[in-house]
Chain A
Amino acid sequence: MIEALRSAMDVKLADDPSVIVFGEDVGYFGGVFRCTAGLQASHGEERVFDTPINESAIVGMAVGMAAQGMRPCVEIQFADYVFPAYDQITQEAARLRHRSNGQFTCPLVVRMPTGGGIFGGQTHSQSPEALFTHVAGLKVVIPSTPHDAKGLLIAAIEDPDPVIFLEPKRIYNGPFRGDHSGKSTPWSAHPAGEVPEGHYVIPLGQAEVRRGGADVTVLAYGTMVHVAEAAVAEAGVDAEIIDLRSLLPLDLDTIRTSVQKTGRCVVVHEATRTGGFGGELIAEVQEACFWHLRAPLIRVAGWDAPYPHAQEWDYFPSPARIARALCKVMED
């Protein structure tokens, strides 16, 4: 996935002189996760450069640049570090088009590694997506495969509005199915690990059915798409797994079609449960599909506690927890 993200930025840096990439350690070194490795050498220091450790400055500068018509694609080193920039993202970038009645716009991408499963403790494991989906004017994207990551990032950079681009760091190097040994297979062994050369786009706002099924719909995104696949195999149910890919705007049509067919729905995310995006999904599903439902809607989410270090696998939603939820909705 790292190479796919890098390729997306490489393609856009090459085909659009207004695209610019910056953030902490992203320039000469190429980012702590190596997503921008080689981009400064290829495109020059005026296009790809290092910044001070100041997230508000990173996004604030990017808002000023974007308002003039540039297309900054900035990196926040971990999603856990985005909070100093929250004012600039939610009060400035998100509203600039609206508050200026279109005089100024903000075509900006804020990339950030998200989620756990890497023994990162409470400051390298959080999933803050709901803190952005709650904000009018933002788009929120989270890929689950290298193929999608590249197409979605190109779409995000080309989008006329600010996009929060969450990168599940647990699957940077390969799909992860929740094996508590921490093992993952490389992307080269996965069909969606194949990434085309050059330019292609996956439109924002379109979910993807990862596995067709008749009995229960699983709504997931990011790393949890792969963990849900393992859980479905473990539970032995005929589940339809929908990878949302874009949380805002949300592809409600795909969700509605699936749940009206299956009559059951389990929502899975790593983020803390209370006030999480799962609550929004369940509210939309019950409103759109209430008369088709055969069982209560269930969330499987991170516990409402700070993300632990030593107890990582007690916190991270496991295939077993998801499988239990699947079996429970099948009982009802």
Chain B
Amino acid sequence: MTAKLAFPHPPARPDQPPDFSNIVVPPAGSLPVPPLDLEARDARALAVGLVRVLDDAGRAVGPWADGIADLTGDDLRLGLRDMLRMRAVDRRMLNAQRQGKTSFYLQCTGEEAIGCGFQRQLEQGDMNFPTYRQQTLLIAADYPLEALMGQLYSNEMDPLQGRQLPIMHSARDYGFFSISGNLGTQYVQAVGWAMACALRGNGKIAAGWIGDGATASGDFHSALLSASVYLPPVVLNVVNNQWAISTYTGVAVGKSETYAARALGYGIPALRVDGNDYLAVVAVSRWAVARARLGHGPVLIEWFTYRAAAHSTSDDPTAYRPKDEALAWPLGDPVQRLKAHLIARGEWSEARHVQAEAEILDEVIAVQKTVEAHGTFVDPKPISPAEIFRGVYADLPPHLRRQRQEMGY
């Protein structure tokens, strides 16, 4: 026998029917709620299992459901409206890109529950270190849509004055750190921010975000190591949406059972959670945020989900995966599942849902019109080119002053 290399492959390619038979979906409510001071050595079942709250009938069951029994119908309707607003913004902005009004867009379809549910558990002053697919955090932080869309159109309503690729938001007052396109770097920065919170004793926490693909980057491991050494108040989130552009998640996870299980080797407790289950997201986020805030140290959460849309407007997923794979995803759609739960509770109806969708769409279209009036790629109202030089440093050094003059400003 000689050594042979492994090359992980997805279960199905474009010419095959979707196949998720390799994914084990345990019954909702089967995993316990651990104590807040959970240690990695006691977290194995949570790290290789799947925390689920909503069962197939839309009922909230098990100990994690008990932990969020105080949530009212209003709370859950707010969550549903967050997700519907996100979905409406994504659809409108995708269309705007298709119409040439902006250069680039990137949806989070199928992953709405994760950021929407997590953000509602944070306090003012906590800081997310997101990737480019966490616009849900902004929606659930009630970030003004005018600023969000202004950034996408790079017009004068853009808080970043056209400096960043669309979707690379920055919103300090809304707990949203400036996004970098270089993957993974933010994860260890989140650890540093959390260390500063602890050193200053300000009671705030940080949340790092990374995709399954970027867990392969060095800074994922740098972050876990640093968090393991200094035990700062940080929640380390991995959004496992199965695809890194065209690369199957198996190429990033290798022989590790789950991404959550990776954290155990660093002595960091971890949980794997159904990311399409809004109630599971809220329950686990609330637990993890409380753990971090009370000084029990870092925790990693793997949000198990599926990237239903293309990676970005520059991507065509039909080239590498079955076209209808999203419909076959065994954990369903987060909006449909929360809607079904609310209806089962007698807190919602089909008619109210249709009405809410229409109201939200009207609101999004109205904001879009306002923002587009300030300029799009089709009808540009350019920001001054001199903006290039402002803020490279706090003060303009002589060489940049000369270059700005050379440009004619």
* B181 closest partner in A (C-beta): A91
State the CA gap A236–B358 with chains docked (Å): 86
**B169-213 contacts to A (CB < 8 Å):** 170-172, 177-178, 180, 182, 185, 187-197, 199-200, 206
State the CA gap A253–B278 with chains docked (Å): 62
| Cross-chain contact A64 with B196 (CB below 8 angstroms) | yes
Among the stretches A52-60, A227-235, A294-302, the one at the interface with B is A52-60
**B384-402 contacts to A (CB < 8 Å):** 391-394, 397-399
Among the stretches B27-35, B38-46, B223-231, B238-246, the one at the interface with A is B223-231
CB distance from B397 to the nearest CB of A (A): 4
Partner of B399, one of A20, A65, A88, A250: A250
Partner of B178, one of A56, A69, A104: A104
Q: Assuming A57-B225, A65-B196, A161-B394, is B191 touching A96 (CB within 8 A)?
A: no
Q: Is A61 an interface residue (CB 8 A)?
A: yes
Q: Is A105 an interface residue (CB 8 A)?
A: yes
B-contact bits for A49-91, CB 8 A (1 contact / 0 none):
0011010110011111101111000000000000010011001
Q: Is A170 an interface residue (CB 8 A)?
A: no
B206: chain A residues within 8 A (beta carbon): 64
Partner of A65, one of B161, B172, B195: B195
Q: Is A312 an interface residue (CB 8 A)?
A: no
**A94-125 contacts to B (CB < 8 Å):** 96-105
Report whether over half of chain B's contact residues are helix, strand or loop; otherwise say mixed.
Answer: helix
Q: Is B219 an interface residue (CB 8 A)?
A: yes
| Cross-chain contact B394 with A60 (CB below 8 angstroms) | no
Q: Is A249 an interface residue (CB 8 A)?
A: yes
B-contact bits for A279-307, CB 8 A (1 contact / 0 none):
00000000000000000000000000000
Q: Is A137 an interface residue (CB 8 A)?
A: yes
State the CA gap A161–B398 with chains docked (Å): 16
B226: chain A residues within 8 A (beta carbon): 51-52, 54, 57, 60-61
| Cross-chain contact B197 with A87 (CB below 8 angstroms) | no
B190: chain A residues within 8 A (beta carbon): 64
State the CA gap A67–B218 with chains docked (Å): 21
Q: Is A330 an interface residue (CB 8 A)?
A: no
B194: chain A residues within 8 A (beta carbon): 64
Q: Assuming A57-B222, A99-B163, A137-B392, is B182 touching A64 (CB within 8 A)?
A: no
| Cross-chain contact B196 with A68 (CB below 8 angstroms) | yes
CB distance from B307 to the nearest CB of A (A): 25
Size of B's binding interface in residues, CB under 8 A:
44
A249: chain B residues within 8 A (beta carbon): 397-399
State the CA gap A46–B163 with chains docked (Å): 36
CB distance from B137 to the nearest CB of A (A): 15
| Cross-chain contact A60 with B193 (CB below 8 angstroms) | no
Q: Is A136 an interface residue (CB 8 A)?
A: yes
Partner of B223, one of A57, A91, A160, A252: A57
Q: Is B160 an interface residue (CB 8 A)?
A: yes
| Cross-chain contact B197 with A68 (CB below 8 angstroms) | yes
State the CA gap A139–B171 with chains docked (Å): 26
Partner of A60, one of B159, B168, B172, B219: B219
| Cross-chain contact A101 with B193 (CB below 8 angstroms) | no
Q: Is B164 an interface residue (CB 8 A)?
A: yes
CB distance from B193 to the nearest CB of A (A): 4
| Cross-chain contact B189 with A63 (CB below 8 angstroms) | yes
State the CA gap A69–B196 with chains docked (Å): 9
CB distance from B36 to the nearest CB of A (A): 24
| Cross-chain contact B391 with A101 (CB below 8 angstroms) | yes
| Cross-chain contact B229 with A52 (CB below 8 angstroms) | yes
| Cross-chain contact A62 with B192 (CB below 8 angstroms) | yes
Q: Assuming A56-B188, A64-B190, A252-B398, is B222 touching A100 (CB within 8 A)?
A: no
Best-buried of A51, A57, A104, A161 by chain B (most CB within 10 Å): A57
Q: Is A38 an interface residue (CB 8 A)?
A: no
| Cross-chain contact B219 with A64 (CB below 8 angstroms) | no
| Cross-chain contact B225 with A54 (CB below 8 angstroms) | yes
Partner of B222, one of A60, A139, A161, A252: A60
CB distance from A99 to the nearest CB of B (A): 6
| Cross-chain contact B182 with A92 (CB below 8 angstroms) | yes
Q: Is A213 an interface residue (CB 8 A)?
A: no
* A137 closest partner in B (C-beta): B392
State the CA gap A96–B164 with chains docked (Å): 11
Q: Is A205 an interface residue (CB 8 A)?
A: yes
A91: chain B residues within 8 A (beta carbon): 180, 182, 185
A87: chain B residues within 8 A (beta carbon): 182, 185, 219
A253: chain B residues within 8 A (beta carbon): 398
| Cross-chain contact B393 with A161 (CB below 8 angstroms) | yes
> Which 10 A-B residue pairings sit nearest by Cβ, starting from the closest?
A64-B192, A60-B188, A61-B192, A64-B189, A100-B178, A57-B222, A64-B193, A249-B397, A160-B394, A100-B170
Instruction: List residues of A whose CB falls within 8 A of some B CB.
Output: 20, 46, 51-52, 54, 56-57, 60-65, 67-70, 84, 87-88, 91-92, 96-105, 136-137, 139, 160-161, 205, 249-250, 252-253
Q: List 22 A-B contacts (CB under 8 A).
A: A52-B225, A54-B226, A60-B188, A60-B191, A60-B219, A60-B223, A60-B226, A64-B188, A64-B191, A64-B194, A87-B219, A96-B178, A97-B392, A99-B168, A99-B178, A100-B172, A101-B163, A103-B171, A103-B178, A137-B392, A160-B394, A249-B398
Instruction: List residues of B whose CB falls within 8 A of some A CB.
Output: 127, 129, 159-161, 163-164, 168, 170-172, 177-178, 180, 182, 185, 187-197, 199-200, 206, 218-219, 222-223, 225-226, 229, 391-394, 397-399
| 6 other A-B residue contacts (CB within 8 Å) besides A101-B170, A253-B398 | A60-B226, A64-B189, A87-B182, A91-B185, A98-B391, A99-B163
